[in-house]
């Protein structure tokens, strides 16, 4: 059975402030196979790398990113002080372009378009802006676009059919997951680990879709999933899982 690829979830987010250049550099350092990041839109339409709708949890600021300009976002300290204290003081929220430039030619990237960033605008929405950045950097073959939001993935397919897509799910039924993956022409199915069953893998194989899961942080848990033919596993501790795979733990 194939060894799953290890996805650095928001970068090496256990060791560095999540979704920052520091976290992505650390993911490269520990040898993660892929790097995942989340994107949101600022008030003035810039794509920034951030998981939450607000900046409250991971920065020294408060408020919705959608109500802030890029200049305002860039003033924030994104060192996740409540978790790391002042260890990474001065880290900033990166733009998507900054993050992709760091990883270009080094690792494949999964860009999650957050459901909250999806707007009614199709031509100038988050999907169009994300695709434009990827194409500007000529990273069409290095990036896959993933989302919980089916509407967003359909837009991505229309805008850039050659950029791979992945559909994310949390505790959905198998028929719904398979139907959604087929509708958006997804090459990757990303159910949360609690949804993994032999039946799901059987259906995925029938339609030619790879299965990855999230979030697995412990070697013991990774071993418990070894009987599944997983393509990849998302982890906040990619270095620890890679060490466990190499050591045969």
Phi, psi of 102 (to 5 degrees): -65, -40
Q: Where are the alpha helices (DSSP H) in the chain?
A: 21-30, 70-74, 81-84, 96-103, 126-136, 150-159, 174-183, 198-207, 219-224, 238-247
pLDDT over 60 (residue 139): yes
Q: For position 128, what pLDDT does the model report?
A: 97
Pairing verdict, β 188-191 and 210-213: parallel
What is the rounded average pLDDT of the residues 224-240?
97
Q: For position 247, what pLDDT does the model report?
A: 83
pLDDT over 60 (residue 132): yes
Task: Please list the active-site residues.
Answer: 9, 51
What is the rounded average pLDDT of the residues 146-173?
97
Residue 249: pLDDT band (50, 70, 90) is low
Which tens digit of pLDDT belongs to each residue from 51-107?
999 999 999 999 999 999 999 999 999 999 999 999 999 999 999 999 999 999 999
The CATH number of the domain where 134 resides is what?
3.20.20.190
Q: For position 122, what pLDDT does the model report?
A: 87
pLDDT over 60 (residue 1): no
Q: For position 192, what pLDDT does the model report?
A: 97
Question: What is the domain extent for residue 72?
Answer: 5-247
C-alpha to C-alpha distances, 95 to 2, 6, 170, nearest whole angstrom: 35, 24, 27
Pairing verdict, β 164-169 and 188-191: parallel
Residue 246: pLDDT band (50, 70, 90) is confident
pTM above 0.95, yes or no: yes
Mean pLDDT of all residues belonging to the chain: 96
pLDDT over 80 (residue 146): yes
- The total number of residues shown for the chain amounts to 249
Q: Report the domain count for the chain.
A: 1
């Amino acid at each position: 059975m194939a060894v799953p690829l290890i996805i650095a979830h928001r970068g090496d987010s256990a060791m560095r402030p999540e979704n920052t250049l520091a976290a992505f550099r650390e993911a490269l350092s520990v040898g993660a196979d892929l790097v995942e990041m989340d994107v949101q839109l600022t008030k003035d339409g810039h794509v920034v790398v951030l998981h939450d709708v607000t900046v409250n949890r991971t920065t020294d600021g408060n408020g919705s990113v959608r109500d802030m300009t890029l200049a305002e976002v860039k003033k924030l300290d994104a060192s996740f002080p409540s978790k790391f204290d002042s260890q990474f003081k001065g880290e900033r929220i990166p733009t998507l372009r900054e993050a992709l430039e760091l990883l270009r030619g080094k690792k494949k990237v999964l860009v999650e378009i957050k459901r909250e960033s999806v707007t009614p605008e199709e031509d100038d929405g988050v999907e169009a802006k994300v695709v434009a950045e990827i194409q500007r950097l000529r990273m069409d073959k290095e990036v896959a676009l993933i989302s919980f939001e089916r509407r967003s993935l359909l837009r991505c397919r229309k805008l850039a059919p050659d950029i791979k897509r992945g559909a994310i799910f949390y505790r959905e039924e198998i028929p719904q997951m398979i139907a959604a993956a087929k509708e958006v022409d997804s090459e990757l199915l990303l159910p949360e680990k609690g949804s993994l069953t032999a039946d799901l893998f059987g259906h995925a194989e029938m339609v030619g879709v790879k299965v990855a899961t999230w979030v697995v942080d412990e070697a013991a848990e990774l071993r418990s999933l070894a009987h599944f033919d997983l393509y990849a596993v998302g982890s906040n501790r990619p270095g620890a899982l890679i060490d466990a795979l190499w050591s045969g733990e």
